Structure 1
Amino acid sequence: MRVIVAGGGVAGTASAIALRRIGAEVTVYEAYADPAGTVGSFVSLAANGLRGLAALGCLDRVRDAGFEVPRQRLWSSTGRRLGDMPRGRLGGDPTHSVTLMRARLVEELRAEAVRAGARVVTGERLVDAHEDADGEKVRAVFESGRTDEADLLVGADGLWSAARTILDPGAPRPAYAGQYTFSGLASGVRHDPGTFDMVFARAGAFITIGAPDGTVWWAAQVSAPREPDLAAIGLDRLAELYRHEERPSTVLAEVTELHRPTLQHVLQPVRVWRGDRIVLAGDAVHPVGAGQGAAMAVEDAVVLAHALAAAPVPAALARYEEERRARTAKLIKMAAANRDAKTAGPVARRARDVFMPLGTRLFYERATAWLYTHPLPELPRAGTLSAGGA
């Protein structure tokens, strides 16, 4: 089987690795020479995402590129502790969440894809694709005019996916979510290493993580009903927004590195996930948020490859959608609730500060077990594609 993967981010590279593991011939087309880029900040991989990386055979490399974060603490704007729980796992799980820069994650996955035998072509952005009349092949068209033909096209081209619109011209478009994010590094600030702290500040959530080298990795998720001009916002403005909270104010006063800011977006449920020879993966079909975007992309890759090893392409894509749709929909609802908690008004903040400590103690593990303990199938050995056919 020959596969075209559109997009060289986490979803695209993870898909390339998984499909190579089962023996597919894979070409990844990526718009940027360096898909890791400088956009974004750090990402965290919870236990479920780490199990997906283990299935792909690259868990150790990703772990070495980041650091473990065993604990998570939640704080009110007044400094009251609202929760203290394992980060991205259940209490008895020895698999600790791993945090690393997004660029490093993409670099490691792309390198593993190449080691596995995938071909990576940069400078090519998908603009169109057509399944042939008998449903046996798909032809992809790229911005440069280049074309390619394969048995399957995986649309892993992110939030602004062309593949999504190719499948359904009426597909939803991303909308501003009412938040934007600044992030960076700070030095000279006391912070427990390996701990994720989130302050529910008046201006929006403020996250800090203590890195092993003593630096603090931070992110400000600022609430703003109207889409702002990010170029007009700097550290002075952030310091003003978070002046009421001690920890954010202390960190922002010691910033040593500022990353490029991003707007947060949401996407209405995607109705069409697949055709006979085209399928969506990662943010192209379910931008979930809640710190689970990378993990869901890795899960997609494993499930898709397992389905393709067991059945011909159209049937495999139907099985993939069936397995992934309900899980990601549940997570999207959870992410929306998280967003609401971060942007709560004064009355809702007071209620949250009263009830969250009890809720995190009594219900955290019960509420998250479905997410963190989700089983993933083992990938069959290379060559099993012949059993299912193309």
Structure 2
Amino acid sequence: MAITSDSQPELRPEPQPPSQPRAVVVGSGIGGLSAAVALHQRGWQVTVLERAVAVEAVGAGIGLAPNGHHALDVIGLGEEIRELAAWQGGGGMRSPSGRWLARTNSSAATERFGGPLVLVHRATLIDRIAARLPGGALRTGSPATLVDPGVAGGRAAVVTTPDGDIEADLVVGADGVHSAMRRALFPDHPGPAYAGITTWRMVVPATAAASFAPHETWGRGALWGSQPLLDGRIYAYAAAAVPAGGHSPDGEKAELLRRFGDWHSPVPEIVAAAGSDEVLRHDVHHLITPLPAFHRGRTALLGDAAHAMAPTMGQGGNQAIEDGIVLAHHLPDAGDIGTGLAAYSAERLPRTTGIVRKSARIAGLVSVRSAPGVALRDTLMRLAGSGPGPGLALRAFDGIADWLPPQRTYAAGAPDPQVRDRQEQR
């Protein structure tokens, strides 16, 4: 306490704690929720704005590769997700007649990448991530428009909603492949392009087929996948090289029966077991032209808004989760948001660009229709899968599925034991 000239004590204000930085996440998909939870665990006040009146898990199933659940380790969810792994034993790639083109097994994948491939229903994953948000953080029925991306070190970012404007230290655009946030930040970017394939997805009861080995089957301009879920149901997906914008006049189940009804078992049985209104069809669009950055001002993009990719490597959701974790890692507080966002872009842009391009190349292989081209592709698959060491299906994920997150735990500031152990093993 200081003493003034007339010997009266000088009262000084009590020091105030720093204000809690605020983040607004636009979109409640897997990437947006992961970012919101990670930021919350770093001490941010988070608000997630979702246009839909309810959070619905569109898309049936999702495959979480080891890199995805390694990222989820950081927010305390990885082990819980690994416990949902259903694939045990063999699997691989087949031809429509049923012949095996390349084989692998679950233990080889786990050993190579430090964890299993986990197939879960998208609703399960979304529910478990959202459960880690504080009460009231998720607002449904709240469409949001970016009014001002803000200036790092300067004015706040602003989004407008039906309930008024919201200012934030950080805005995260997680609003999907046709992102309005991306168009606002980068109006000169060409946007998503049709990847040349359309997909169908469904979840059917366990009674749809007898026991089977998980597989992808490659045909002429088409692909089918059958994967078990832990609860006994079957997640199935298909892709075909068809013009964009099409829909079957007699329903998508009938379309699948025409395309895949004479393929090996259990493909016809799975199609037959699907409800007529339970088959989801979507044209695949990707950002084959990368963005110049994943941020501008105080606004960042993640997931499909930043790097939409073909699903041929099953990495779309995994990369979105990685985005959310890495973004929070570089933004421990609002003090130096410009440096943090620049580091986020620098780390994520080259990695995701490479995966977008690799996924596009595989989509091109799916699109092969000619008999000589299919024969050559199948021969190469058999040769690549028959040599010593890991097969083609595993080697394709080197440098992708073995990714590990930054060591710092966002909740406590100390290394997470699981993440630290994996880092040390490498």
Q: Could you say which TM-score interval applies, normalised by the shorter chain?
A: 0.7 to 0.9
Deviation by residue 1:62-113 (Cα, 9 ceiling, x = unmatched): 446x443255410012322111124694544452111111122112211222
Output the amino acid matched with 2:357. Answer: K
More strand by share: 1
Select the structure of larger CA radius of gyration: 2
Of 8, 11, 26, the match for 2:31: 11
- Contact conserved, 1:73 with 1:82, CA < 8 A, in 2? yes
Taking the TM superposition and a 5 Å limit, the aligned residue runs for 1:197-236 are 197-229=215-247, 232-236=250-254
- Contact conserved, 1:26 with 1:118, CA < 8 A, in 2? no
> How many correspondences in the alignment?
378
Tell me how far apart the structure 2 counterparts of residues 134 and 216 of structure 1 sit (CA, whole Å): 47
1:278 — aligned with what?
299
2:404 — aligned with what?
375
Tell me how far apart the structure 1 counterparts of residues 140 and 357 of structure 2 sit (CA, whole Å): 35
- Contact conserved, 2:147 with 2:158, CA < 8 A, in 1? yes
Q: Determine helix, strand or coil for the equivalent of 1:315.
A: helix
Taking the TM superposition and a 5 Å limit, the aligned residue runs for 1:281-292 are 281-288=302-309, 289=311, 290-292=313-315
Of 260, 266, 269, the match for 2:290: 269
1:356 aligns with 2:375: no
- Contact conserved, 1:4 with 1:26, CA < 8 A, in 2? yes
1:237 aligns with 2:266: no
TM-score of the two chains, using structure 2 as the length reference: 0.81
Deviation by residue 1:110-138 (Cα, 9 ceiling, x = unmatched): 12223xx6711111122223145685233
Q: Check 1:132–1:271 CA distance in 2 against 1; reply closer, same or farther (3 A cut).
A: closer
Deviation by residue 1:32-70 (Cα, 9 ceiling, x = unmatched): 132234x21200000010100111112244446x44325
Deviation by residue 1:235-279 (Cα, 9 ceiling, x = unmatched): 222111123422322332333572332222122322242112011
Q: Name structure 2 gaps, 5 residues minimum.
A: 1-20, 414-426
Tell me how far apart the structure 1 counterparts of residues 152 and 63 of structure 2 sit (CA, whole Å): 43
Identity %: 26
Cα RMSD, aligned residues only: 2.5
Q: Check 1:132–1:241 CA distance in 2 against 1; reply closer, same or farther (3 A cut).
A: closer
Output the amino acid matched with 1:31. Answer: R
Tell me how far apart the structure 1 counterparts of residues 94 and 297 of structure 2 sit (CA, whole Å): 48
Deviation at 1:22, TM superposition (A): 1.0
Of 308, 312, 315, the match for 2:336: 312
Of 106, 129, 135, the match for 2:147: 129
Deviation at 1:5, TM superposition (A): 0.8
2:51 — aligned with what?
31
Output the amino acid matched with 2:66. Answer: A
TM-score of the two chains, using structure 1 as the length reference: 0.88
Tell me how far apart the structure 1 counterparts of residues 152 and 336 of structure 2 sit (CA, whole Å): 14
- Contact conserved, 1:277 with 1:313, CA < 8 A, in 2? yes
Q: Determine helix, strand or coil for the equivalent of 1:14.
A: helix
1:301 aligns with 2:321: no
Tell me how far apart the structure 2 counterparts of residues 56 and 383 of structure 1 sit (CA, whole Å): 10
Q: Check 1:46–1:231 CA distance in 2 against 1; reply closer, same or farther (3 A cut).
A: farther
Of 180, 198, 205, the match for 1:162: 180
Q: Determine helix, strand or coil for the equivalent of 1:191.
A: coil
Q: Determine helix, strand or coil for the equivalent of 1:113.
A: coil
2:7 — aligned with what?
none
Q: Check 1:191–1:341 CA distance in 2 against 1; reply closer, same or farther (3 A cut).
A: farther
- Contact conserved, 2:152 with 2:297, CA < 8 A, in 1? no
Of 171-180 and 361-370, the range deviating more from structure 2: 361-370
Deviation at 1:280, TM superposition (A): 0.6
1:342 aligns with 2:360: no
1:75 aligns with 2:100: no
Q: Check 1:371–1:322 CA distance in 2 against 1; reply closer, same or farther (3 A cut).
A: same
Q: Check 1:26–1:366 CA distance in 2 against 1; reply closer, same or farther (3 A cut).
A: same
- Contact conserved, 2:51 with 2:140, CA < 8 A, in 1? yes
